Amino acid sequence: MLELQKPNDASKLQWASEEYIPNIAALFKTQTGKRLILSEIKNTNGKKTNYWENESVDIISHLRNIQRQGGNLCYQEDGKKFAVAAVVDIDQPIEPIIFCKETFKIDTKAIPVRSPSGKNWHVWNFYSQPVPVAEAAKWARETGHKFKKLNYKVDFGKCNPRDNGSQVGINFPFCNQIQVPFDPRGNVYSPKQFLHRLKFNSFPYIALTTNLKTGENRYDALLLSASILNDAGEYKPEYVEEIADNFGTLFDDEKQIEKVKEKCKIYHYNPETIEKSIADLIGDQEFKFEDVAEAKVKETITPLELNEYTGDEPLVAREWIIEGWLLSKALTLVVGQAGVGKTIFLAMLAASLAHGGEILGKIIKATGNVLILASEETQNEIRLRLTAICDLLNLHHRKSKIFFKGLEDQIKLVNFTLTEAKATKAYKQLELSLKKDEIKFIIIDPLISFQTGAYDENNNAKMEQFVKDFIIPLAVKNNGAVIAGHHTNKFSMLNISKDGKELEVDHQIALNAARGASSLVAAARFVIAFQPMTKKIFEKKFKDLVDDNSKFTHYAGLIEAKSNYSIVEDDITWLKKNSVSLDVIDTKGNPTQEQLGVFTVAGLNKLTKAKNKLKAEKNETYVRDKLPLIIDLMVNDECTLNAAVEACLLEETDYADDSIEEKTLKTRVRRQIVNGLHGEVGGDTQGISYDDGFNYWLKIDNSRKGAAKFFIQRGKDLKRGAV
């Protein structure tokens, strides 16, 4: 039996480090159930002893030099044959400085690696995506013939894979300090440089600059590399740092690196210039390369960094801006029908976030510069609104600045094509403005107006992309918040109970009222919904309670429909639209006045709460009056709610009234008992105490069936809900 080889010294075996193993291992996908075992290499002539085993390749064991392996680069998926790599076997010792330059001239993507003997060469092509095995075999065959024309000895029998995927094996590299890759100048790559080379392998010039040593004018090389990426649409600032970090010797001049990031956007190089620059670096003026206009950066996949919860970490408070409404680095959605007043509310938010203090009873916990992007309001209208708000609310000591863009500008932030979404020039300009003017809060109204192209607001994927990839990052990058206005469908978020006595908020409708794809509401951490006051509700519930001759059109309701980080308010908050007169000048320069609306918290809320409290007290009095009857029904300190309702029903004064249906009376009695057992309005506990020294409360036991689930319980300990 073969004795397993011992791993190399960990300090020398860089290729087996945990940092690189995942990405190196991903380069190999081979025939399953077969692996080539390298058992011996004779020092005299470099001849190898290999044999096949009926087991799959264990690439991790190979990279750690525990058992050196190889295999067939053809693998099958869904009955089709693929390869992620191809290799040419050069059975001849050649000096690295000569062979590596020739390899780059033959194919800029090919990477020479020393064979197991340390004398000969394997030339590898690692594909960024799986290719049909015939394509990989064609590359190996054609590349082998190119080397043969240079009088190199090519072992075509070992070139891998074959056209039909038949059995042929090759020893895999990277298991020791011998089978390592070389750059085009004949120098060994480190694992980090090798992976960097693969990442930018579609760009010959950048591939060539990997492992570039001092004295090779690396600033110009960095600038040319960044400019190439910029022209190809693949530029990212971090790529400049990566290229500099993978030079052969340290290049840490931060000023030069930052200068490259700026200048690469204005320098453009034609193919002839790039070709000449490659020729200069490689030292061969005859060098030619193929067009790389469609070249892409092959992103290196690394293990996902995970955060571990230990329970010992210090807990940090949430960064509330307005508790329950706005949180740092989050999106708040303000939804409502056209004309309901959400634009007034958004302008009030802008003024309050800049001034501090309160807004509609909510405390502003953080202030900062604000930007209003309003595609449906003129610049003049924005100024008028802000002035009216500041006058009515007495906001005259602004701590921060307010910036705005009106409908005159009509900027678009995201352009959708049939296949992708891209930030527009205006989006990139906005990012710079947010940084320059230190803007913390961005108000976008309406959200849907700031995209263009092949967009469909009912498409969940596109809506999610719009919000998560472009809108929310504006808040994250500036450690602020984004507040977006959005229209709703014409659903009523309020219901009046069948008996006409209760006004009920339907939070589910409020949450789902936003028009278009549901992914918008899902992406928002908070949803504030505006409900217009209806004539029916006003006349039935509030008309007799107001004495200022106000009409239903003066009111709108604010509903906290969603909060991911706090409990939403159960009730609706009624707001009243107040008229503010501003002294203005008309187009002819004559003084005149304009009327604008500004919200304040309406007195209806206090009246409603007082009425609810009175109703709760009446319900509790009703239950206390019926408790002797309910106690007589109890067995083992409980009775079903249905039994209590049936007993109390007989004592109703209108029970004998044939004009009233029995089910209506039952509903009324049931509601009075249930509400009466809830205890103090707004309290944390449920139930009521009685003169007999016991507590009585309503309990639900889901283990029981039907109406028996709901029952009234008696006990000594109210908090535990047990006898």
On whether the CB atoms of residues 677 and 698 are closer than 8 A, the answer is yes
Closest CA to 605 of 676, 533, 684, 687: 533
Residue with tokens 């500004």: 598
Give the pLDDT of residue 303.
73
Q: Is 102 exposed, middle or buried (0-12, 13-18, 19+ CB in 10 A)?
A: middle
Strand 330-336 to 481-487 pairing: parallel
Give the pLDDT of residue 10.
34
- Please compute, for residue 570, the number of CA atoms within 13 A of its CA located in the half-sphere on the CB side: 6
Q: Average of pLDDT values for 120-133?
A: 94
pLDDT band per the 50, 70, 90 thresholds, residue 512 = confident
Preceding peptide of 130 cis, ω within 30°: no
Lowest-pLDDT range, 415-424, 440-449, 598-607, 650-659? 598-607
Give the pLDDT of residue 301.
64
Q: Is residue 13 predicted with pLDDT exceeding 50?
A: no
More confident site: 18 or 148: 148
Q: Is residue 428 predicted with pLDDT exceeding 50?
A: yes
Q: How many CB atoms lie within 10 A of CB 63?
A: 25
Q: Is residue 86 predicted with pLDDT exceeding 80?
A: yes
Give the pLDDT of residue 539.
84
- Give the contacts of 135 (CB within 8 A, at least 6 positions apart): 83
Q: Is residue 97 predicted with pLDDT exceeding 90?
A: yes
Q: Is residue 2 predicted with pLDDT exceeding 50?
A: no
Give the pLDDT of residue 580.
93
Structural domain spans, the chain? 14-92+115-129+150-176, 196-282, 319-602, 607-715
Angle, helix 604-632 to helix 641-649, in steps of 10 degrees: 90
Q: Is residue 12 predicted with pLDDT exceeding 70?
A: no
Give the pLDDT of residue 660.
84
Highest mean pLDDT pick, 320-334, 598-612, 662-676: 320-334
Q: Average of pLDDT values for 6-35?
A: 74
Q: Average of pLDDT values for 100-128?
A: 94
Q: What's the rounded Cα separation, in Å, for the pair 704 and 714?
A: 18
pLDDT tens readout for residues 28-76: 999 999 999 988 776 555 577 889 999 999 999 999 989 999 999 999 9
Dihedral, 323, 329, 333, 339 alpha carbons, nearest 10: 90
Strand 358-359 to 170-171 pairing: unpaired
Highest mean pLDDT pick, 144-158, 659-673, 691-705: 144-158
Per-residue tokens: 575: 């707001």
Q: Is residue 88 predicted with pLDDT exceeding 60?
A: yes
More confident site: 704 or 668: 668
Residue with tokens 């009695």: 669
Q: Is residue 427 predicted with pLDDT exceeding 90?
A: yes
> What integer best gives the mean pLDDT of the chain?
87
More confident site: 175 or 42: 175
Q: Is residue 1 predicted with pLDDT exceeding 60?
A: no
On whether the CB atoms of residues 72 and 31 are closer than 8 A, the answer is yes
Q: Is residue 412 predicted with pLDDT exceeding 70?
A: yes
Helix extents (H) in 151-270: 191-199, 204-209, 218-231, 237-245, 254-263
Looking at the whole model, is its pTM more than 0.75?
A: no
For the chain, what percent of residues have pLDDT higher than 90?
54
Give the pLDDT of residue 113.
97
Q: Average of pLDDT values for 1-19?
A: 49
Q: Does domain 319-602 have CATH number 3.40.50.720?
A: no
pLDDT tens readout for residues 309-364: 898 989 899 999 999 999 999 999 999 988 899 999 999 999 999 999 999 999 99
Per-residue tokens: 64: 């750690």
Give the pLDDT of residue 501.
61
pLDDT tens readout for residues 681-712: 333 346 888 888 888 988 877 777 766 678 89
Q: Average of pLDDT values for 72-83?
A: 92
More confident site: 177 or 705: 177
